[in-house]
Amino acid sequence: MPTFQQFKYKECLPKRSLSALPSYLLVKPTAYDEVLLLRLLTGTVDFQNTISGIKFTQRINYSKFDFVTNRLVSAKSVTDIFKEESIKLTSAEQYYKNCVRFGNRNLFKNLLLELTNYFYQKEIKSDALAFLHLYRSIELVSYCFPLYFASKATSYEKTYSSLKDFFTKVDGELNFFKKFVHEHLFNNDPTILDTHLKISVNGPNSSLQEQYFKALKKLCDDNKNIDFISSSPFTEIVVTRKGLNSLSYDLRNRYFHLLTGDFNHNFSSGEISEVNYFYRNVNDIILNWLAQIYFKILLTKIDET
């Protein structure tokens, strides 16, 4: 099948920062897809859709819990993620070279494209479609990330045996991914999962804001895997990060399906009107959580390279 380049990526760092960043971390035609993913998720890249011609910037840094906007972009915005874990940039370079040699290219090529599409749809205010690209990203990594993590884990035998057990006892790849995140990835720091997360609810008017609040509250009330903490009608819902995987699945299933039998209490278009505004409340929170999972795996693997 002929290849098509949907997006072109462009370096956004000022000249004074370029010399402070190793060559392999720069945005250029020969950059590794996983490096471009790093730059995308740290909010340090510009890109353009080759069909519409729309140019846009990505300046939100999802490597931070409760993501922040980069007021100034610099080499520090990129390298901080390694320095916080005392990882040498030479070790990171060796990791990226190994990724190319040992066959993770398709995974990161596809993930980069899905998440770039997320930002593109977000830019043009098509937030429901942005969510679909975000959800496709979750589906893409649901088996790949756990196996990717296990391939070089220090306790490989123990990790492999446990993951193998998941395959036989867990129903579906998304639940497999959730158990991996809860029981392996963050098992040494469970406070990450239990941290309270505030979801601010906004809408174009008070009526829709109330509607969105009630829809999100219903999702939390109906799912025992979502730890609901509190709410402030009709402006805020507080949950724990532990429930974000389940919330992501329900946000997809309860709106993008419209089955009405059994226990399929799915939302009609009347219950969630102007759906782009609705997903605008949750998209970046979910992406931040996916980015945290990815960066945890990335740093673990670089540290063991």
CATH number of the domain at 268, please: 3.30.70
Residue closest to 180 by CA, chosen among 195, 194, 197, 159: 159
CA distance 42 to 74: 11
Pair 166, 240 in one domain: no
Residue 180 lies in a domain: no
**Residue burial 100-136, b: 16+ Cβ < 10 Å; e: rest:** eeeebeebbebbbbbbbbbbbbbbeeebbbbbbbbbb
Task: Quote the number of domains for the chain.
Answer: 2
Retrieve residue 171's tokens: 């129903």
Residue 185 lies in a domain: no
Look at residue 261 in the predicted model and tell me its pLDDT: 54
Tally the C-alpha atoms within 13 A of residue 17's C-alpha that lie toward its C-beta: 16
Pair 260, 123 in one domain: no
Pair 143, 290 in one domain: yes
Residue 183 lies in a domain: no
Pair 208, 260 in one domain: yes
End-to-end CA distance of the chain: 35
Residue 265 lies in a domain: yes
Residue 255 · residue 267 · CB < 8 Å? yes
**Residue 103 lies in domain:** 7-175+286-303
Residue 157 lies in a domain: yes
Look at residue 103 in the predicted model and tell me its pLDDT: 56
Pair 242, 110 in one domain: no
Sheet holding 196-200, edge to edge: 196-200, 236-240, 228-232
Pair 34, 146 in one domain: yes
Pair 143, 212 in one domain: no
Pair 17, 160 in one domain: yes
Residue 268 · residue 36 · CB < 8 Å? no
pLDDT tens sequence across 70-111: 999 999 999 999 998 889 999 999 988 887 666 578 899 999
Residue 212 lies in a domain: yes
Residue 124 lies in a domain: yes
Residue closest to 199 by CA, chosen among 217, 211, 181: 217
Residue 32 · residue 99 · CB < 8 Å? yes
Q: pLDDT tens digits for the chain (305 residues)? A: 567 899 999 999 999 899 999 999 999 999 999 999 999 999 999 999 999 999 999 999 999 988 999 999 999 999 999 998 889 999 999 988 887 666 578 899 999 999 999 999 999 999 999 999 999 999 999 888 887 777 655 554 555 566 666 556 656 677 888 888 988 889 888 899 999 999 999 999 999 999 999 999 999 999 999 999 999 999 999 999 999 999 999 999 999 986 655 556 789 899 999 999 999 999 999 999 999 999 999 998 887 76
